[in-house]
């Protein structure tokens, strides 16, 4: 008998609130936010890693070489999600280009958030 893998180690209410908060980010950028990292792998996670993955061209168009703007948005959206979803651990939100997201170091599970409201009843 094989064990079914968990999508995350968040409780259902925590996951639902996080999903709802990330829906606002998806609406703003047109792409889902992904739940990644230790929260998808083990119950003793320290933080909640969220990644907004945009095409390389879109990242270049929005940020160019302005790393300060990207960092500011990462911090602001981390705080927005933290204050909106009240998750059980700190949120680490980052905007990544597709190239960055597909680097070998980022090969773990990605669980899309902010898309559950798109389902038709």
Report pLDDT digits (tens) over 2-39: 555 667 899 999 999 999 999 999 999 999 999 999 99
What's the pLDDT at 114? 86
Which tokens sit at 9? 């180690």
pTM: 0.89
CA dist., res. 39 & res. 80, Å (int): 19
How far is residue 1 from each of residues 4, 7, 9, measured CA to CA in Å? 9, 19, 21
What's the pLDDT at 104? 87
Residue with token string 């996951």: 15
∠ CA 57-58-63, nearest 5°, is 105
Mean pLDDT confidence for 85-102: 96
* CATH level 2 (architecture), domain 32-114: 2-Layer Sandwich (3.30)
């Amino acid at each position: 008998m094989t064990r079914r893998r968990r999508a995350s180690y968040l409780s259902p209410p925590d996951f639902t609130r996080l999903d709802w908060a990330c829906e606002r980010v998806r609406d703003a950028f047109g792409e889902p936010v992904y739940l990644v990292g230790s929260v998808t792998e083990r119950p003793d996670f320290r933080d909640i890693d969220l990644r907004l993955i945009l095409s390389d061209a879109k990242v270049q168009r929005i940020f160019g070489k302005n790393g300060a703007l990207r960092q500011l948005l990462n911090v602001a959206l981390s705080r927005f999600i933290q204050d909106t979803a009240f998750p059980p651990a700190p949120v680490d939100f980052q905007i990544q280009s597709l190239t960055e997201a597909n680097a070998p170091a980022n090969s773990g599970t990605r669980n899309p958030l902010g898309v559950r409201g798109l389902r038709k009843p």
